[in-house]
Structures are given as C-alpha cells and as structure tokens.
Homo-oligomer: A and B are copies of this chain.
C-alpha cells in the first residue's frame, strides 16, 4: 500500500446491529474529519478494501456511496476515489436546530415563550392537511447559543401530539428529540428558506434592529407514514446565522 493511499484503520463489529456498510462509512468519515485520511488523497481501491476488511465489494461500495453523497469523497470512473477538503460542510439532511447546535458543540438553551392550543391558521391547516380552523398545538421558543439569541421559532403540531410536546420537554430538548422519544419517525420535509425584514417584536427578541434582515425558514415535516406532523416557521438574525451546507451533483446515487 503506497504512501499516497489512505488506510481506513476500520474496525467493524459484526455483532453490532449497525450494518457493516454504515459502520465502515462512519469510520471513514471520522478518519477524514480527523485528517487521518487526508484531503487530496485517494482511498484504497474497492477491491483491495474489501479484501482487507473481509467484506464484500458491494458493501464497500455502499459505504463509499454514502460518503460521496455527503460530499466527502469524489468517485471517478477508472481513477479511484478522492478525499475532498473538509471545509465542505454538512450534507443537507432533516435535522433540528437543537441537534445541529449540539453537534457543533454550541450549548443550546431554550426559552419557551408560548404554548397554547389555537385554531390552525389557513396555511398551517393546509400544510398539516387539516380542516380550516382545526385546533392545533402552537408553541413559540427563543433559542440561544452561547447566550446569544439565534432563532425565534414558531411551530404548530396536530393536537394528537399535545402530550408528546410538553412544556417541560420543550425546555430541555428539541422538538425532534421529543418526537423521536415517542416513536415518531420523521422522514421527510418540505423546506423554504427566505429572507425578510424584522418586525418590532422579533427585532427585540433577537436583538437586531427593527427592519433589519432576518433569514427565514419554513418547514413541514412528515413522518414515516407520510403524515405531516409539524409546521415550523423560524426566523434567524442574519448577522448571526446562516445555513451552511454541502451540495452534491446529481450522481445517480
């Protein structure tokens, strides 16, 4: 194995419920992010990797496909698989701001500003596939990271989730975590990112000038039965928050 070729130092636990391909992908991702697989280098070829790791080549391929889809490697036909610079960030996947911040090592805290049952506004009703005016649970939170407000979040969920989305829960965890803990599996979301000027209340809460620019994000999330379970409308101070993401070309995977 040439010095130019990275080695994965992978340890695959064959007793684990986590699939081999996923373990391998995670191991490789960690190696890339920690610089053990340095950017600009090529992975060992698939056949050799499969031999070394004592897994089948499709298993290796599947792990690498995961990495490619996350923008961590670029595969070229006939050439090999290139590790790319990791300034390229996170793939676009459905996650919550709470989870994101935790992952980024920023301690998120939450102020619950409101939690009430309301008739669904038209757009919320439409999005949650409810009749106009159906009662839904509405809650509003101010999220802070390192004691700076970074998001004002308004959410609506069907009333059936009232006992899942408790006041206590909302204070200590993110919404998606609460849902997950109660067996609700989010699988998909429709998302719109935009911008607008801050209204007075928002400006005050987010500590931006009135009329200053806000980044906005609206999201409708669906569970694994395809049912909409959340309508969210979040605003962020533009000076302190932006969406960073890696984007991959349509690679047929």
Contact = CB atoms under 8 A, between A and B. Distances in A.
Given A85-B226, A186-B249, 6 more contacts: A19-B252, A71-B188, A94-B249, A188-B248, A188-B249, A191-B245
Interface of A: 19, 22, 39-40, 66, 69, 71, 74, 76, 82, 84-85, 87-89, 92-95, 185-197, 211-216, 219, 222, 224-226, 238, 241-253
A19 to B, nearest CB: 7
Contacts of A248: 93-94, 187-189
Contacts of A94: 247-250
Contact of A89 (B93, B186, B190, B222): B190
A77 B193 CA distance: 32
A215 B193 contact: yes
Question: Which one of A82, A195, A247 has the greatest number of beta carbons of chain B within 10 Å?
Answer: A195
Contact of A189 (B66, B197, B246, B253): B246
B242 A192 contact: yes
Contact of A195 (B187, B213, B249, B253): B213
16 contacts: A69-B253, A76-B224, A84-B222, A88-B188, A92-B92, A94-B248, A188-B248, A192-B242, A192-B243, A192-B245, A193-B243, A193-B245, A194-B238, A195-B215, A195-B242, A197-B212
A211 B214 contact: no
A242 B193 contact: yes
A140 B248 CA distance: 24
Nearest to A189: B247
A192 to B, nearest CB: 5
Nearest to A40: B226
Contact of A246 (B190, B195, B243): B190
A226 B188 contact: no
A219 B87 CA distance: 12
Contacts of A22: 252
B194 A215 contact: yes
A105 to B, nearest CB: 19
Contacts of A245: 92, 190-193
